[in-house]
């Protein structure tokens, strides 16, 4: 719990481990179960709950993540007890009814169909399929396959999955804002006390397998802007000692408007509206990937990809300079602080840090840890983990004629 001086508002963020078995598509079962969590409980239907929340202006959302189920909420301080109570009721006693399942399924299918219209979603998911095998949490299903899997699900399997996985497994709840500590303690104890643990041992791959392949293009009609994703796996987890040096190095390449990629590809050469690099999909339990994402109009696609690869190669070969690191340390530390300026972002950041094995106090340590990273550490990490020869590429959109 963290009290802040914001007036009247309370935000919370929590999650628990579920670790779906990816080989049997339990991730799809989890997505459906999560979509059903706000559709009524064994005690009240969804409209009764919605009336309680909406009349107070309160919000609760549930999120299906790779290995966990997360939830977040926001309410006025006078409502913190009933809202945490409702959240606990939804998580612990969902009705998971046939009627609601029949309504949720087409909505999820519609959402997958909408992702099929997006060049960003199509290229991003294609790259994740290029980099990872199905048994890695960063793998992404092709939308067509996801549609088929959704159609094949049965409510009994969804309910069985949820009831066997939902529980106080590595449970984290962070509450931030303007509240009385006693109120929150009682509400959490009443709502989540004695929620039993479930066995959710890991069944997925933590590291990637070595992969190579030709560029993949997802053809789409009427998409004159093409999305490009370039990257490869990086066998580093969040608590690895190379994480922070690598994060800083990649930030110098493409973390913001004054990065190398934006400075050259957008600002000097005018080839794109946006190009970014990041270390993506890293958790305390599994590795992530180096990702460069950009958009190019059809007539600048080829030169845009070529220039991007040239800049990545130059970056990997020569590393970064002390001046760049000094500048970006200030950027990263300052923006971390700036990113904690609302109760919602503070709750989410602290919650994520705890899940990542970094601890609640990490928000206070971050700036000094960043400051302690040397140029040599960054360049050593880049040299070890970024390899231009291993880059894989996915594009989506309408190619020029």
Partner 1 sequence: MDTVVSFVQESGGVKEYKLDSNGLQILIMQDLSAPVVACMITYRVGSRNETSGLTGATHFLEHLMFKGSEKYNKAKGTSVFNVLQDVGARMNATTWMDRTNYYELLPAEHLDLALDIESDRMRNALILPEDVESERTVILNEFDRGENEPTRKLYHEVWTTAYSAHPYHHPTIGWRSDIENVTASDLRGFYDRFYWPRNATLSIVGSIDIDEALEMVSRRFSSIPEGPEPALVTTREPEQLGLRRTTVSQAGELGSLMMAFKAVSADDDDALALDVLSIILARGKTSRLYRALLETSLASGVDASNTALRDPGLFYVFAVLNPESDHAVIEEAVWNEIQSISREGVTQAEVDSAIGQLQALEAYSRDGAFSIVQQLNEAIASGDWKLYTEYLNRLEAVTPDDIQRVARSYLTDNRATIGKYIPA
Name residues contacting partner 1, limited to 258-297 (CB under 8 A). Answer: 258, 263, 266-273, 295-297
Sites for partner 1 among residues 32-51 (CB under 8 A):
38, 46-47, 50-51
Q: How far apart are CA 175 and CA 344, in angstroms?
A: 9
Give yes or no for residue 23 binding partner 1 (CB under 8 A): no
| Other beta carbons less than 10 A from residue 108's beta carbon | 18
Sites for partner 1 among residues 352-381 (CB under 8 A):
none
- Cβ nearer to partner 1, comparing 89 with 133: 89
The DSSP symbol for 94 reads: B
Q: What are phi and psi of 9, to 5 degrees?
A: -95, 140
> In angstroms, what is the minimal distance from the CB of 341 to partner 1?
4
> In angstroms, what is the minimal distance from the CB of 193 to partner 1?
28
- Cβ nearer to partner 1, comparing 113 with 181: 113
Q: For partner 1, which stretch binds (CB under 8 A), given 21-29, 161-169, 236-244, 253-261?
A: 253-261
Sites for partner 1 among residues 155-214 (CB under 8 A):
177
Residue selected from 165, 223, 260, 348 as contacting partner 1 according to rule CB under 8 A: 223
> In angstroms, what is the minimal distance from the CB of 148 to partner 1?
14
Q: Mask 86-125, x = binds partner 1 (CB under 8 A)?
A: ----------------xx--xx-xxx-xx-xxxx------
Q: For partner 1, which stretch binds (CB under 8 A), given 22-30, 73-81, 134-142, 230-238?
A: 73-81
Q: How far apart are CA 111 and CA 125, in angstroms?
A: 15
- Token pair, residue 29, equals 């079962």
* C-alpha distances in Å from residue 110, one per residue of 35, 113, 147, 158, 219: 13, 5, 9, 19, 20
> In angstroms, what is the minimal distance from the CB of 77 to partner 1?
9
- Cβ nearer to partner 1, comparing 55 with 401: 55
- Cβ nearer to partner 1, comparing 70 with 176: 176
What SS3 class is residue 111? helix
Give yes or no for residue 6 binding partner 1 (CB under 8 A): yes
| Other beta carbons less than 10 A from residue 18's beta carbon | 26
Please, are residues 18 and 64 in contact by the beta-carbon 8 Å criterion? no
Q: What are phi and psi of 117, to 5 degrees?
A: -85, -10
Please, are residues 28 and 149 in contact by the beta-carbon 8 Å criterion? yes
Sites for partner 1 among residues 295-314 (CB under 8 A):
295-297, 300
> In angstroms, what is the minimal distance from the CB of 19 to partner 1?
29
Q: How far apart are CA 367 and CA 364, in angstroms?
A: 7
Give yes or no for residue 151 binding partner 1 (CB under 8 A): no
- The vertex-165 CA angle with 13 and 133, nearest 5°, equals 90
- Binding residues for partner 1, rule CB under 8 A, total 75
| Other beta carbons less than 10 A from residue 257's beta carbon | 10
Residue selected from 74, 141, 293, 348 as contacting partner 1 according to rule CB under 8 A: 74
- Cβ nearer to partner 1, comparing 266 with 390: 266
Residue selected from 58, 126, 174, 246 as contacting partner 1 according to rule CB under 8 A: 58
Q: Give CA torsion, residues 75, 78, 79, 80, to 10 deg.
A: 80
Q: Hey, which residues does 393 pair with through a beta bridge? A: 230
């Amino acid at each position: 719990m963290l009290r802040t001086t914001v007036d009247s508002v309370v935000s919370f963020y929590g999650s628990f481990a579920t670790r779906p078995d990816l080989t049997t598509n339990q991730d799809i079962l989890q997505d459906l179960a999560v979509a059903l969590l706000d559709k009524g409980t064994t005690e009240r239907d969804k409209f009764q709950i919605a009336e309680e929340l909406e009349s107070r202006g309160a919000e609760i959302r549930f999120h299906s993540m790779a290995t966990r189920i997360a939830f977040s909420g926001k309410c006025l301080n006078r409502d913190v007890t009933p809202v945490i109570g409702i959240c606990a009721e939804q998580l612990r006693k969902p009705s998971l009814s046939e009627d609601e399942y029949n309504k949720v399924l087409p909505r999820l299918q519609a959402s997958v169909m909408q992702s099929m219209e997006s060049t960003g979603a199509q290229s991003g998911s294609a790259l994740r399929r290029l980099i990872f095998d199905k048994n890695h949490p960063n793998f992404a299903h092709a939308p067509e396959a996801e549609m088929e899997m959704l159609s094949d699900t049965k409510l009994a399997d969804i309910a069985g999955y949820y009831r066997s996985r939902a529980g106080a497994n590595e449970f984290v709840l962070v509450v931030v804002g303007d509240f009385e500590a006693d109120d929150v303690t009682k509400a959490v104890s009443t709502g989540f006390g004695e929620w039993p643990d479930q066995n959710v041992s890991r069944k997925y791959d933590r590291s990637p397998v070595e992969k190579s392949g030709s560029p993949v293009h997802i053809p789409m009609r009427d998409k004159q802007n093409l999305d490009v994703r370039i990257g490869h796996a990086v066998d580093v987890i969040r608590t690895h000692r190379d994480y922070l040096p690598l994060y800083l190095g990649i930030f110098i390449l493409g973390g913001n408007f004054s990065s190398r990629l934006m400075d050259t590809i957008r600002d000097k050469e005018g080839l794109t509206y946006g190009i970014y690099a990041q270390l993506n999909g890293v958790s305390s339990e599994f590795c992530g990937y180096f990702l460069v994402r950009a958009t190019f109009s059809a007539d600048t696609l080829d030169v845009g990809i070529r220039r991007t690869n040239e800049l990545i190669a130059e970056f990997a070969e020569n590393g970064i300079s002390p001046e760049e690191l000094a500048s970006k340390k200030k950027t990263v530390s300052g923006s971390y602080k700036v990113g904690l300026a609302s109760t919602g972002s503070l709750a989410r950041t602290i919650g994520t840090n705890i899940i990542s094995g970094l601890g609640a106090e990490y928000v206070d340590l971050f700036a000094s840890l960043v400051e302690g990273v040397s140029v040599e550490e960054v360049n050593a990490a880049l040299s070890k983990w970024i390899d231009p020869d291993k880059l894989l590429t996915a594009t989506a959109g309408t190619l020029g004629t």
